[in-house]
Amino acid sequence: MNDQQLLRYSRHILLDEIDIAGQEKLLAAHALIIGAGGLGSPAALYMASAGVGTITLVDNDTVDLTNLQRQILHTTERVGQAKVDSAKIALTHINPTINVIALAERADDGRLSELIGGADVVLDCSDNFSTRHAVNHACVTHRVPLVSGAAIKFDGQISVFDPRSATSPCYACLFPPDREFEEVQCATMGVFAPLVGIIGSMQAAEALKLIMGIGTSLAGQLLMLDARNMEWNSIRVARDACCLVCSTSK
């Protein structure tokens, strides 16, 4: 690291668990963020400010006025702009020393496999089950840790799925792809603005820990927040020996 980097990241370096070695891991890392909306906004901002060397953002949507209530990457002046381009502006303003790759596309299975194969960690900040399952499948295939978050109305959840561990479940162990789950989205149900900030920031925290190899991740645990009462609950999630994704990947 040069002198400017030592100064920029000094408050990380002061932490014994991180120090220079941990910060250098961040600078060398490549994080893939799926979604540049409510969850992706705080997640990307903290990943960038922390010094993750390369951040790839994938989102095919454009900034809408209704997004600005919670999607803090974007501004009124950038309404109508591709979200990933708007996000790149925000991230490079906060940290011009990192590499931000903006992909204005809806990645199919093949493209996700290509992108995830080149990443050190994936943050799923999408808002639908089909994308989450596709991302999970590619992460299992390439053995890349996945930080998954979700938020709707006043309810949020977050977990880590780490296919590098033989005991860690995958997303499909928790939400089997052959079962039907109610699909609810912010456009129809609404979402409490600070909730996505809380969950997205936690996604960044888990991703940074995974990159640096510090602390204990949320692998095997689903953490749920009821923001009405600001109450947290957690459940243990076991690996499913009959999982349609991770049990057949070995």
- Catalytic (active-site) positions: 186
Chain-centre distance of CA 193, in angstroms? Answer: 17
Distance of CA 112 to the CA centre of its chain: 14
Q: CA-CA distance, 75 to 59, in Å (whole number)?
A: 17
* Neighbour tally for 236: CB within 10 Å: 8
Bridge partners, residue 221, by sequence: 236
Token pair recorded at residue 216: 């204990």
CA distance 239 to 250: 13
**Which tokens hold the place of 185?**
């989205």
Q: Is 53 exposed, middle or buried (0-12, 13-18, 19+ CB in 10 A)?
A: middle
3-state SS, one letter per residue, for 153-220: ECEEEEEEECCCCCCCCCHHHHCCCCCCCCCCCHHHHCECHHHHHHHHHHHHHHHHHHHHCCCCCCEC
* Residue whose token pair is 């603005």: 193
